[in-house]
Amino acid sequence: MKQVNRKKEFIIWLLLLLPFIYAMVVWNKTPDQVPTHFNFKGEPDDYSGKAFALLLMPFLNIVIYFVLFFIPRIDPRKKNYESFGSSYQNIRMLIHVFLLGIFLFITQTTSGGQPLQLKLFLSGMLLFFALLGNYLRTVRSNFFVGIRTPWTLSSETVWRKTHELAGKIWFYGGIALAIAVFFLPDLPAGIVMGTGVFLMALIPVVYSYLEFNRINHVENDHTASHEQ
């Protein structure tokens, strides 16, 4: 894999550092028991100590950083990262922006004793999927990132076509679902999001299977015609 862009990597490290700075700023203002789980109405139904609530996700974010950073070095297809290294770094940055956003959103909301704004939270998650879809089309065959089915991993053509389709579905579907969820009541919003995300994940998997079989069928027919 090519050398990482240092400016982008510096930004990622800032994203890792910001939650710890924020935790220090709000530490004395945060109650000893903080909501850490919510029901479908956004109401807290479980609590934890503030050390757990304020430090778990920042430390988890650092663990995720090192996992994502070293993945290309252990992937049997690590050479393929050469062709989408910039996009992969952008995906890593996007993941850390998303985790930082969740941390700040939940902490700011719960430290003030307010219910979680569930629809806003779900819409943010769907926009994250949409942005991931924007980069998904550039991902090349590997064992860790993307739509990894037996059929995409067995064929470069199937991988490319599946990710082109998945990228469009995730991008446009994520935006459409984010808008719909924001304006729906809480329960329908949860149902729409769950159904939508399930379909966004399922359709590329089914497509990869069908496309793999179609290509094999064409190749077998071509081989049979030459043997006759």
Domain count, the chain: 2
- Are 139 and 110 in the same domain? no
Between CA 211 and CA 206 the distance in angstroms is 9
- Are 33 and 79 in the same domain? yes
- The single residue listed with the structure tokens 């064409």 is 218
- Are 137 and 166 in the same domain? yes
Of the candidates 101, 170, 98, the residue with the CA atom closest to the CA atom of residue 132: 170
Domain housing 30: 1-116
- Are 80 and 154 in the same domain? no
pLDDT of residue 3: 64
- Are 109 and 202 in the same domain? no
- Are 106 and 127 in the same domain? no
- Are 197 and 227 in the same domain? yes
Between CA 204 and CA 207 the distance in angstroms is 5
- Are 90 and 168 in the same domain? no
Contact status, residue 116 vs residue 109, Cβ threshold 8 Å: yes
For residues 40 and 4, the model is more confident at 4
pLDDT tens-digit readout, 124-160: 999 999 999 999 999 999 999 999 999 999 999 999 9
- Are 111 and 199 in the same domain? no
SS3 179: helix
Lowest mean pLDDT among 27-36, 88-97, 196-205: 27-36
Between CA 97 and CA 92 the distance in angstroms is 9
Lowest mean pLDDT among 55-64, 124-133, 147-156, 182-191: 182-191
pLDDT of residue 222: 58
- Are 96 and 144 in the same domain? no
**Bridge partners for 90 per DSSP:** none
The 3-state secondary structure of 62-102, one letter per residue:
HHHHHHHHHHHHHCCCHHHHHHCHHHHHHHHHHHHHHHHHH
Out of 60, 81, 116, pick the residue that ends a domain: 116
pLDDT of residue 52: 85
Average pLDDT, the chain: 88
Most confident of 3-12, 76-85, 151-160: 151-160
Of the candidates 224, 225, 131, the residue with the CA atom closest to the CA atom of residue 175: 131
Between CA 113 and CA 117 the distance in angstroms is 12
- Are 54 and 132 in the same domain? no
Out of 91, 116, 141, pick the residue that ends a domain: 116
Contact status, residue 164 vs residue 139, Cβ threshold 8 Å: no
Stretch 32-52: mean pLDDT: 74
Out of 116, 142, 165, pick the residue that ends a domain: 116
Query: Considering all CA atoms of the chain, what is the largest pairwise distance in Å, rounded to the nearest integer?
Result: 82
Between CA 225 and CA 134 the distance in angstroms is 41
pLDDT of residue 106: 81
pLDDT of residue 63: 97
For residues 160 and 218, the model is more confident at 160
pLDDT of residue 42: 62
pLDDT of residue 226: 58
- Are 112 and 136 in the same domain? no
Position 206 pLDDT exceeds 80? yes
pLDDT of residue 118: 79
Instruction: Output the six-digit token pair for 16.
Output: 């890792």
